[in-house]
Structures are given as C-alpha cells and as structure tokens.
Amino acid sequence: MQTTMKSSAISGKRMGSARVANRSMRRAQLQVVAASRSQIGRWRSIDADKDSSDDQQDITRGREMVDDLFQGGFGAGGTHNAVLSSTEYLSQARASFNNIEDGFYISPAFLDKMTIHIAKNFMDLPKIKVPLILGIWGGKGQGKTFQCALAYKKLGIAPIVMSAGELESGNAGEPAKLIRTRYREASDIIKKGKMCSLFINDLDAGAGRMGDTTQYTVNNQMVNATLMNIADNPTNVQLPGVYKNEDIPRVPIVCTGNDFSTLYAPLIRDGRMEKYYWNPTREDRIGVCMGIFQEDSVHRGDVERLVDTFPGQSIDFFGALRARVYDDMVRKWIAEVGIEGIGSKLVNGRQKVSFPKVSMSLDVLLKYGKALVDEQENVKRVQLADAYLSGAELAGASGSSLPEEYARR
C-alpha cells in the first residue's frame, strides 16, 4: 500500500514537471515566432542594435572575435577593421576658422551687413520677402574673403564653402547638382541645431561672362538658373531626379566677386540678391594693416603714414610688402648654406628653418613698397604682347631688351 502511494506521488511530480516544461517550450516557440516576424534583416542581433550603432562600429566591436586567418597581417587589415575612419564622416566642404588668431580687424560696416543678412534669414518676419543671397563685391585684393572668414568666426558659424573652380565641369549639370548638394548639406547642419551658411567664393569668375571672348556654357546657364530657383524656393531644394516635397531649413548664401554685372541680370535683382559694395575706408585700411603688422611692433603712426604714402594700393599690397622685407635675410641664409645645400635643409632637414623678427622700420617699409610699385609700373609700361602682335618687331628696337634705356626714362 505504501509502495503504491509513493509511486503515484512520484508519477504526479513527473507529470507536473512535464507540464511546466511544455509551457516553457511553448513560450519559447511563441517568442521565436514573434522575433521572426519583427526581424527585418538576416541577423537579429544587428536589427536589435540598429538604433544605437552602425555597421562601422559593429565591425570594430568584432575585433579578435574571428579566426586569425581573417584578421589581416600584423593587425593592419582584415574584417576586424572598419572601412571608414572617423574623419571620413566629416564634410570635406565645411570650413573652420578656428586657426585664425584673434586681433585682426573687422570692419564694423562689413560685420553689420553680414550679421543682419544672416539673422534676417533665420527670422520669420511677417509678409516680408528676405533676399536669400548676399553678394559682396569690390576691387581685387581688398580682403573680402578674409573679412567674411573673420565675420563667420565672430558669429560662430562653420560654413559650407564653394569656389569658382567648382562651378564648371566637363560633365553638363554637375556644378548645378553640386550647389544643391552643398545647400542641402548646410540645411542638414541647421536641422541639427547649429547655424550654417553656404559661402561661394568668386561667383562672377565661375558663373559670369567676361566679355565676348568668354564662352557661355550650359553649366554657366544651369548655375545661374539653380541659384535663382534656390533663391525663390529656399525651403524646397531637391536633388536631380528626386521629386519629393519636403520642407528643409532655409540656408543664407553669401558670395563674393569683383564685378557682378557679368552675372545674369535676373539673378542679381533685389528680391533674390542683396548687394554690398566693399570699398574699405582709410580707417578700415589702417585697421587691417595694424593686424598685418601686429607681430612686428609697428606703431600706429608709422602704419598711418605707410597707408597714406600708397593710397591707391589694395590691402593685399601691404601683406606682400611685409613678406618682401624678409628677402634680405633669406638671401643671407642662402649665402651661408650654399645654393647646392638648399634642398637638404628645406625638404629633408630635421629642423625647420626659422628667422628672428626683422626690424620693420618705416624707412625699410617705404623702400620695399617703392620696389613693389616699380614692378607694377613695369607691367603697365612694358606691354610686350601688344608690340609682338602688332607687327614683327625686333628685340630691342624700342628698348624692350635694354633695361638701361628704361632706367633713363
């Protein structure tokens, strides 16, 4: 009797444990079915990690977890290394002006114009059409691009930069597509909560028409038409072949140039482009020159006299003047090293060649400034192309090969 009761109790325990096991198996099967229904790709673990990682990080996490056969020689290659490095995720067109030192002069009028234009494009002003493009134009060498860089740094903006060389291509339509791509790239940065802008250098050199001798190409037409379309619809800029209506953040465009009259007239009308003629005043020129000579301890009085002595020169003239002062020291260093030993010192040398600060007195600066002006006058006076094209002129017939004759004039 006792034996029968024990056997029935044991069998009851076995049946209970079997039921528990069956329930757990059914739950596991249901979980597998649910997981298979929600699984998108082939590997469930990657699907579960899609919100917090990407393929490059997954590859890096798998280091030392596969056979040595696939690790690559000396760990330099193989399946455990990510294809892209962290720097390749960054935009190649985005400029950073953090390398510009403080102390350079920014024209108050220039900064005011650029700041107001960018601020207005980020504001929602009632029933007011704000021009999307700010065109800054003026003479050559007046520091337009550098003033823009200083203003961008002051505003804390890292713009997307384009140059005039990117506005032409051997393939029709590529420059227009590039403008749309760069604009949307800047728009994505704004969408992430950072101010951004599209900055086009020398727009007239890439999209303008310099007289009858310049060929007007399809790309010139498409660049002008693309900028007009973006200015009219700044929140609906699509890539070629993409027809999806989606609103993107508005991106202010700043462009520089020398002569905007060479551009297509409907592009530079007031509703699309706000124009600003940059012609630095005497105070602006003195302020910029103080920044150029700030490392050389040149007094303001000497800078003022230097600017007044060369009133018709552009601002980059004074930068070239400062670089010209080092010619004597470089000439002396070449005499000490020898012409044959320059290559080993400059290219393969372990130490960089450096010079102490040169004494830049007013007399030295005026002397080298006069030399630069003389070279400019030679370019204006000795126009050999006109002489050669006008007829078969012999060398030296008019003194072009006699520098002594020019010295006497």
pLDDT tens-digit readout, 263-275: 888 999 998 999 9
Q: Which two tokens stand for residue 141?
A: 């060498």
The residues, any chain, with a CB within 8 Å of residue 224's CB and separated by 6 or more, are: 207, 263, 264, 267
Residue 59, classified by CB atoms within 10 Å of its CB into exposed (0-12), middle (13-18) or buried (19+), is middle
According to the 3-state scheme, what is the secondary structure of the chain? CHHHHHHHHHHHHHHHHHHHHHHHHHHHHHHHHHHHHHCCCCCHHHHHCCCCCCHHHHHHHCCCCCCHHHCCHHHCCCCCCCCCCHHHHCCCCECCCCCCCCCCCCCHHHHHHHHHHHHHHHCCCCCCCCCCEEEEECCCCCCHHHHHHHHHHHHCCCCEEECHHHHCCCCCCHHHHHHHHHHHHHHHHHHCCCCCCEEECCHHHHHCCCCCCCCCCHHHHHHHHHHHHHHHCCCCCCCCCCCCCCCCCCCCEEEEECCHHHCCHHHHCCCCEEEEECCCCHHHHHHHHHHHCHHHCCCHHHHHHHHHHCCCCCHHHHHHHHHHCCHHHHHHHHHHHCHHHHHHHHCCCCCCCCCCCCCCCHHHHHHHHHHHHHHHHHHHHCCHHHHHHHCCCCCCCCCCCCHHHHHHC
Residue 47, classified by CB atoms within 10 Å of its CB into exposed (0-12), middle (13-18) or buried (19+), is middle
Task: Label residues 203-240 b or e (16+ Cβ within 10 Å = b).
Answer: bbbbbbbeeeeeeeeebbebbbebbbbbbeebeebeee
The residues, any chain, with a CB within 8 Å of residue 59's CB and separated by 6 or more, are: 79, 80, 81, 82, 83
Reported as half-sphere exposure (CB side, CA atoms, 13 A), residue 274 has a value of: 17
**Per-residue pLDDT for 354 more than 50?**
yes
pLDDT at residue number 87: 47
Task: Read off the pLDDT of residues 162-213 as tens digits, 9 standing for 90 and up.
Answer: 988 888 888 888 899 999 999 999 999 999 889 999 999 999 888 887 776 6
Report d(CA 141, CA 317) in Å as an integer: 8
Token pair 């034996």 in the structure block, residue:
3
**Per-residue pLDDT for 248 more than 70?**
yes
- Stated length of the chain: 409
| Pairs from 291-294 (Cβ < 8 Å, separation ≥ 24) | 291/103, 291/104, 291/105, 292/318, 292/319, 292/322, 293/318, 293/322, 293/360, 294/103
pLDDT at residue number 75: 52
Max avg pLDDT among 76-90, 153-167, 240-254:
153-167
Backbone angles phi, psi at 314, to 5 degrees: -75, 170
- Mean pLDDT for 56-79 is 55
Task: Read off the pLDDT of residues 92-125 as tens digits, 9 standing for 90 and up.
Answer: 677 777 667 677 889 999 999 999 999 999 998 8
The residues, any chain, with a CB within 8 Å of residue 165's CB and separated by 6 or more, are: 206
Angle among Cα 395, 401, 402 to the nearest 5 degrees reads 135
**Per-residue pLDDT for 242 more than 60?**
yes
CB 93 within 8 A of CB 161: yes
Query: Within 10 Å of residue 102's Cβ, how many Cβ atoms?
Result: 7
**Per-residue pLDDT for 350 more than 80?**
no
pLDDT at residue number 51: 47
Task: Read off the pLDDT of residues 393-403 as tens digits, 9 standing for 90 and up.
Answer: 555 555 555 56
* Angstrom distances, CA of residue 361 to CA of 293, 300, 305, 364, 368: 11, 12, 12, 5, 11
Helices 315-324/362-381 angle, 10° precision: 110
State the pLDDT confidence band at 88, using cuts at 50, 70 and 90: very low
pLDDT at residue number 308: 92
More confident call, 361 vs 71: 361
What is the C-alpha R_g of the chain? 34
**Per-residue pLDDT for 5 more than 70?**
no
Task: Read off the pLDDT of residues 291-345 as tens digits, 9 standing for 90 and up.
Answer: 888 888 888 999 999 999 998 888 989 999 988 888 888 888 898 888 888 888 8
